[in-house]
């Protein structure tokens, strides 16, 4: 099994959960870590700490009961604000600060943050320098290969990050302009491996143990980060980690999967409150049920529900004659 170190933190499991806004909240991070993911990074939090008293930010900063080390990802464009956010995150219990240079969402780009920063290498340098100086804990960065196919400057920015004291780089194998279209490419990640000595984590389209092996081999990365492949399948990181370690691990029986997802639904409802909790739980139910040949029929009955207890109970009832037990699981 590959191992890597970030600061004083040793990681012996190279299969990490990617930060996904609106998806990888605290209940999901805890579940994926419990089921075998080697690390999980928080949803991105805005660098303007004056907004942190809003419910959305409070939830994203909620790291209670999470297994360490804790990595909080910050997003912004102003070096001083980013430094303040990093310092505040450290005070709240973060063990690692991750800088977001990868988000392709338009609402983030409008503020010249996320992957938009890759168009301004000088500004990246200022942010890196000030954030590293502001905290006593390791700083890492997650980025794309570049803004577009004519400016794949990921290796250049990664090298600069290393020189300014950052301690790890995660790279998604698409440009910002790619969004999530087409296939991820790993040549740029491999060139980044040649450019830096710090730990490198590869991200993009990793949905199986075979793909993880191929990406690790092709890029020379120290770990891989899985995002959309975990949606509805929190067992995936643990399965890949076990198989890379030479151990056989399968998803549990469908009934056990349903029970696990039901507990997740309850945790999400408690985390967000009844109304928002039901809405947030729906996406996880839909992703889970899509893995089964007859799951869409079950989803059609669950989707309209607005009462949290009914949502939970109707989902649990899938164990008893709900159809999934005999369904054909769609494996990823």
Say what the pLDDT of residue 319 is: 82
Residue 103 bears catalytic tag: yes
Structure tokens that stand for 218 in this block: 């092709």
Q: Are 30 and 67 in contact (CB under 8 A)?
A: yes
Tell me what the mean pLDDT of segment 175-182 comes to. Answer: 90
How many angstroms separate the CA atoms of 260 and 109, rounded? 36
CATH number of the structural domain 4-244: 3.20.20.70
Alpha-carbon span 143 to 118, nearest angstrom: 8
Confidence of residue 1 (pLDDT cuts 50, 70, 90): low
What is the mean pLDDT of the segment spanning 147-153?
Answer: 92
Query: How far, in Å, CA of 43 to CA of 118, rounded?
Result: 20
Over the stretch 235-274, which tens digit does the pLDDT of each residue have? 999 999 999 999 999 999 999 999 999 999 999 999 999 9
DSSP 32-49: HHHTT-SEEBPPPEES-G
SS3 state of residue 267: helix
Catalytic residue, chosen from 32, 103, 124, 177, is 103
User: Among the listed ranges 29-38, 66-75, 157-166, 313-322, which one has the minimum average pLDDT value?
Assistant: 313-322
Q: pLDDT exceeding 70 applies to what percent of the chain?
A: 94
Contact 13, 241 (CB under 8 A): yes
Task: Write down the pTM of the prediction.
Answer: 0.93
Query: Between vectors from CA 86 to CA 84 and to CA 90, what angle results, nearest 5°?
Result: 115
Return the pLDDT at 332: 42
Query: Distance between CA atoms of 73 and 51, rounded to whole angstroms?
Result: 15
Q: Where are the domains of the chain?
A: 4-244, 254-319
**Residue 131 pLDDT exceeds 60:** yes
């Amino acid at each position: 099994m590959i191992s890597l170190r970030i600061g004083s933190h040793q990681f012996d499991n190279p299969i990490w959960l990617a930060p996904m806004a609106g998806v990888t909240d605290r209940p999901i991070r805890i579940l994926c870590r419990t089921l075998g993911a080697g690390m999980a990074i928080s949803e991105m939090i805005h660098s303007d700490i004056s907004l942190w008293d809003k419910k959305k930010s409070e939830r994203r900063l909620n790291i209670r009961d999470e297994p360490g080390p804790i990595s909080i990802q910050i997003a912004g464009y102003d070096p001083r604000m980013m430094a303040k956010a990093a310092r505040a995150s450290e005070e709240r219990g973060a063990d690692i600060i991750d800088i977001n240079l990868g988000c392709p969402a338009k609402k983030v780009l409008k503020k010249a943050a996320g992957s938009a920063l890759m168009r301004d290498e000088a500004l990246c340098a200022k942010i890196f320098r000030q954030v590293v100086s502001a905290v006593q804990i390791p700083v890492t960065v997650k980025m794309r290969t570049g803004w577009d196919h004519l400016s794949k400057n990921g290796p250049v920015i990664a090298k600069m990050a290393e020189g300014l004291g950052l301690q790890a780089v995660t790279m998604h194998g698409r440009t910002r302009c790619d969004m999530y279209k087409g296939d991820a490419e790993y040549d740029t990640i491999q060139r980044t491996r040649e450019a830096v000595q710090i730990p490198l984590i590869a991200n993009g389209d990793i949905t199986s143990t075979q793909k993880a092996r191929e990406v690790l081999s092709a890029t020379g990365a120290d770990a891989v980060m899985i995002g959309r492949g975990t949606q509805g399948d929190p067992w995936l990181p643990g399965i890949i980690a076990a198989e890379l370690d030479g151990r056989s691990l399968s998803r549990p029986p469908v009934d056990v999967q349903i029970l696990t997802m039901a507990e997740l639904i309850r945790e999400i409802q408690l985390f967000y409150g009844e109304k928002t909790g039901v809405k947030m739980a729906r996406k996880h139910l839909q992703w889970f049920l899509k893995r089964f040949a007859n799951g869409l029929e079950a989803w059609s009955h669950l989707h309209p529900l607005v009462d949290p207890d009914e949502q939970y109970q109707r989902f649990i009832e899938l164990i008893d004659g709900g159809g999934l037990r005999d369904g054909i699981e769609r494996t990823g």
